Amino acid sequence: MGICLWQDLAKRKSTPPQGDGNEQVDCLIIGGGLTGLMTAYLLQKAGRNTLLLEGNTIGQGASGRNTGKITCQHGLIYHTLLDKSQELALGFYQANKIGKEKLAEIARQEEIDCCLTPQESVLFSQRPQGVEALDQEFEAYQQLGIPGYRTNGITLPFPVTGALVMPDQYSYQPYAFLIGLAQAYERCGGRIWEHTRAIELEGEDPVTVRTQDGRQLTAQWVVVATHFPFYDGGGMYFSRLQPKRSYLTALSCREILPGSYLSIDPDGVSIQYFSGGREPLVLVGGAAHLVGEENPEAYDQLKRWAREHLGTDQLGWAWDAQDLLPPDQLPYIGPLGPGAERILVATGYSKWGNTWGGAAACMLSEFILTGGKRQLSLFQPMRLGSITNLQFVQENFQAAKGYLSGLATPGEDQFPVQPGQGRVVRRNGQKLGGYRDLQGKLHVVELRCPHLGCEVAFNQLEATWDCPCHGSRFSYDGTLLEGPALTHLERPEQGEEPLPPLPDPGK
């Protein structure tokens, strides 16, 4: 895991839990990303007694590690949605517009120093085949009344065959916004407990939540905004969300161009300029792949693309992020399911969490405060379309493939000797994972993912153990980084049935 530009430029002290451990609140928000913080803020401002739990620290997940784009232009989406229904396509746009404007409104009202910048959002292609796709998307804009225009000339320093521009969008420093939003939330009486991981949830009116450190909390409403829902509630979210990794690089540049850009071509990149640091920067992102696969050349690929197209390869920061993609391209926002009307969930933003996070916060807070279900019906978590879609079948086939590939991996005979290397090793009939850190210390973990038992694979680029079935990720020493798993990988010396000490081949 590389160093994220946003988290390097802004810092925040964490807030440990207070009190005796047993709390009763109106609304309990679980997850300290954009959705959780913004929902908590809106509810607290409306007079509700709220508490926010975060298993790590505020903004350490996808909300604090993204491109910084705040836009309703989510690739070639509106033409696809319009084929399904005009109501769906228009509802998609209106929800994102509400989220975008609410985020900008809060930043201005609370005077959050997050480099909020109005700009155009641009889709472009460098291939002749891309022109027709851009034309079709523009036709959808016109039918839906979405502001935008087609052009063949934009300010990028390389030729394009066409572009589609959506005006009046924004960019910002996402982690700085989260820090400022957390401060604004606490100023109006909200409380944040970091390093407090929720692990169990039960009941309805009130709902009881138990944490890993033994606390028991009750609430009239619970919002699960943990990126991947920590509580499934029979929703089988692990089978309806495809986890993907992608990568971002921040490079020095000579000038700041007036827009954010996204290629619609295969293996295309995202381009975002930023002027709020010590020097002008351009962010180039892409090289996405499924979790459990790996691309050891990801950062080099992006750096090479920037050199060839933008004339820069002076890399300042490089980092990764994980996104969750539903099969029908619509997020899951609303009540968890029948019999759980007071447990709300928001997930599956398909790489567009800045606007969807704001949209979800607006919809969920409105539902809690007034019972209003404006647009929630379009994104209800238990909708049938998300489990009858062909993509759903393909993604679950991929999960089964990941499970079988782990069984088929034979494993090496010896643990790695070179620092920075990890591998699967078979010892006494059992497969284990071994990684030797840069100081030469060997870390050994069991390979069974604690979620559903798939075998994790080593990601050499990020030095992590990744589950190819449902996307859980762990650091090289087994520490949980991403759900749906709730616990760390077992370490042989800490398991229920300890193994005898393993020899260290490096000595």
The pLDDT of residue 488: 92
Q: List all residues 6 or more positions away from 84 whose beta carbon is below 8 Å from its beta carbon.
A: none
Bridge-based pairing state of the strands 430-436 and 281-290: unpaired
Least confident of 40-49, 104-113, 404-413, 487-496: 404-413
- For residue 328, is pLDDT > 90? yes
Distance from C-alpha of 343 to C-alpha of 334, rounded to nearest angstrom = 8
The Cβ of residue 157 has, within 10 Å, a number of other Cβ atoms equal to 11
E strand or H helix at 167: strand 162-171
Question: Helix, strand, coil shares of the chain as percentages rounded to 5?
Answer: 30, 30, 40
Q: CA dist 274 to 148, 214, 251, 298, 503, Å? A: 23, 43, 10, 21, 50
The residue-averaged pLDDT of 191-214 equals 91
Least confident of 218-222, 358-362, 424-428: 424-428
Least confident of 9-18, 30-39, 442-451: 9-18
Q: Check: CB of residue 76 under 8 Å from CB of residue 138.
A: no
The pLDDT of residue 374: 73
Percent of the chain with pLDDT over 70: 91
- For residue 397, is pLDDT > 70? no
Q: What is the average pLDDT score of the chain? A: 89
The pLDDT of residue 409: 61
Q: Check: CB of residue 105 under 8 Å from CB of residue 390.
A: no
The Cβ of residue 300 has, within 10 Å, a number of other Cβ atoms equal to 16
Greater confidence (414 vs 156) lies with: 156
- For residue 500, is pLDDT > 50? no
The Cβ of residue 120 has, within 10 Å, a number of other Cβ atoms equal to 20
Convert the pLDDT of each residue in 289-311 to its tens digit.
999 888 899 999 999 999 999 99
DSSP 81: H
Maximum alpha-carbon separation in the chain: 70
The pLDDT of residue 263: 97
pTM of the predicted protein model: 0.90
Convert the pLDDT of each residue in 110-128 to its tens digit.
999 999 999 999 999 999 9
The residue-averaged pLDDT of 209-237 equals 91
Distance from C-alpha of 336 to C-alpha of 451, rounded to nearest angstrom = 20
Helix (DSSP H) and strand (DSSP E) numbers for the chain: 10, 24
The pLDDT of residue 91: 97
The pLDDT of residue 410: 59
The residue-averaged pLDDT of 344-356 equals 97
Structure tokens at 56: 């790590």
Q: CA dist 78 to 86, 94, 101, 188, 392, Å? A: 9, 12, 20, 38, 20
The residue-averaged pLDDT of 129-140 equals 97
Distance from C-alpha of 127 to C-alpha of 242, rounded to nearest angstrom = 28
Q: What is the CATH number that goes with domain 407-494?
A: 2.102.10.10
Q: Check: CB of residue 357 under 8 Å from CB of residue 34.
A: yes
- For residue 386, is pLDDT > 60? no
Q: How confident is the model at residue 388 (pLDDT cuts 50, 70, 90)?
A: low
Q: CA dist 383 to 346, 377, 387, Å? A: 14, 9, 8
- Among 182, 229, 491, 208, smallest CA distance to 346 is for 229
Structure tokens at 103: 């985020």
Q: Check: CB of residue 120 under 8 Å from CB of residue 167.
A: yes
The pLDDT of residue 392: 47
The residue-averaged pLDDT of 67-73 equals 97
The residue-averaged pLDDT of 382-387 equals 70
Least confident of 63-72, 97-106, 374-383, 443-452: 374-383
Percent of the chain with pLDDT over 90: 67
**C-alpha atoms less than 13 angstroms from C-alpha of 141 in its C-beta half-sphere:** 21
